[in-house]
Amino acid sequence: MTAMSGTGGWSEQEFRQGRADWLEIRAGDLAAVLETAGPRLFKLLPTDLGDRTLVAAVTVARVAADEARAQSVAETVRWLERLIPGGHLHDLEGAVRELRSRPAVSDEPALWSWNAEGWEEMLLWRWSRGRPGSGDPAADFAGWRARWSAEIPWDGEIDRPESMPRRHGRQLLTPAEFFADEPEPLRLLTQAVLDAPGTDAAVQDTVLLREEHLQGAGHLVWLAEQQACVEQLEAWRRRHQATGSEATRAFLVELSEAVKRYMSLVLQPVVDALSVCERSLLGDSKPGARRSAADYLDAFLDAQEQPGEDSWRDERLGADVEQQARERHDRGETTWHGMLGTVPVWYRVVASREERAAVLAYSGKPSTSVVRVRTGAATQSLLTDLFGFGGPGDEHEEWYPEPGIEINYVPDSAFDLCALLAVAQLGHARLEFLVRRADGSFHRLRSVRARVRRDDTVAWRHWALRVLSELVPDPEDLADLIAREDDDGTDESDAADARTRADDRTSSDAGTSGSVPRPARDGLPEALLGKVRALLRKAENPAATEDEARVYLDKAYELMAKYGIEQAMLDDVTEPERPVDRIVDLYPPYVKEARRLFARIGYEMRCRAVYPGGKDNRHRVHLFGFAADIQATEVLFASLRLQMLEGADRADRLHRPEGEDARAYKRSWMLGFIREVTARIGAAQRTASAAAEQGNEADGADGRSVALVLADRTTVVESQLAAQYPKLNKTRPTKFKGTGYWQGVSDGRDADIGGPAFDEEGPAAQLIN
Residue 606 confidence class, pLDDT cut points 50, 70, 90: confident
- The separation between CA 313 and the C-alpha centre of its own chain, rounded to angstroms, equals 29
Q: Is the pLDDT of residue 555 over 80?
A: no
Residue 550 confidence class, pLDDT cut points 50, 70, 90: low
Q: What are phi and psi of 706, to 5 degrees?
A: -60, -45
Out of 257-271, 467-481, 697-711, pick the least confident.
Answer: 697-711
- Please tell me the pTM assigned to this model: 0.70
Helix, strand, coil distribution of the chain in percent, nearest 5:
60, 10, 30
What pLDDT score does 140 carry? 87
Residues 470-499: pLDDT tens digits? Answer: 888 888 778 777 776 654 433 333 322 222
Using alpha carbons, list the distances in angstroms from residue 225 to 194, 267, 289.
12, 11, 20
Residue type, 678: T
Distance (Å, rounded) from C-alpha 140 to C-alpha 746? Answer: 57
Q: Is the pLDDT of residue 524 over 70?
A: no
Query: What is the four-CA torsion angle of 613, 619, 624, 628, rounded to 10 degrees?
Result: 180
Residue 531 confidence class, pLDDT cut points 50, 70, 90: low
Using alpha carbons, list the distances in angstroms from residue 1 to 4, 14, 220, 649.
9, 13, 11, 31
What pLDDT score does 508 carry? 35
Residue 361: count of CB within 10 angstroms of its CB: 10
- Judge whether 126 and 27 are in contact, CB under 8 Å: yes
Question: CA 684, 686, 691 angle in degrees (round to 5)?
Answer: 95
What pLDDT score does 554 carry? 63
Residues 115-166: pLDDT tens digits? Answer: 999 999 999 999 998 888 788 888 888 899 999 999 887 767 889 999 999 9
Residue 39: count of CB within 10 angstroms of its CB: 15
Out of 309-323, 391-405, 455-469, the most confident range is: 455-469
Average pLDDT of span 39-54: 94
Q: What are phi and psi of 407, to 5 degrees?
A: -100, 120
What pLDDT score does 758 carry? 34
Q: What are phi and psi of 739, to 5 degrees?
A: -105, 20
Higher pLDDT, 762 or 266: 266
Average pLDDT of span 10-39: 93
* CA-derived radius of gyration, the chain: 29
Distance (Å, rounded) from C-alpha 714 to C-alpha 730? Answer: 19
Distance (Å, rounded) from C-alpha 158 to C-alpha 273? Answer: 5
Q: Is 268 exposed, middle or buried (0-12, 13-18, 19+ CB in 10 A)?
A: middle
Residues 57-112: pLDDT tens digits? Answer: 999 999 999 999 999 999 999 999 999 999 999 999 999 999 988 866 677 899 99
Q: Is the pLDDT of residue 538 over 70?
A: no
What pLDDT score does 552 carry? 64
- Of the candidates 346, 293, 286, the one whose C-alpha atom is nearest the C-alpha of residue 461 is 293
Strand partners, 432: 347, 447
Distance (Å, rounded) from C-alpha 702 to C-alpha 250? Answer: 81
Q: Compute the mean pLDDT over every residue in the chain, rounded to the nearest whole number.
A: 79
Give the three-state DSSP class for 48.
coil
For the chain, count helices (H), then strands (E): 30, 12
Distance (Å, rounded) from C-alpha 696 to C-alpha 674? Answer: 33
Residues 224-251: pLDDT tens digits? Answer: 999 999 999 999 888 888 777 788 888 8
Q: Is the pLDDT of residue 537 over 50?
A: yes
Strand partners, 449: 430
Residue 525 confidence class, pLDDT cut points 50, 70, 90: low
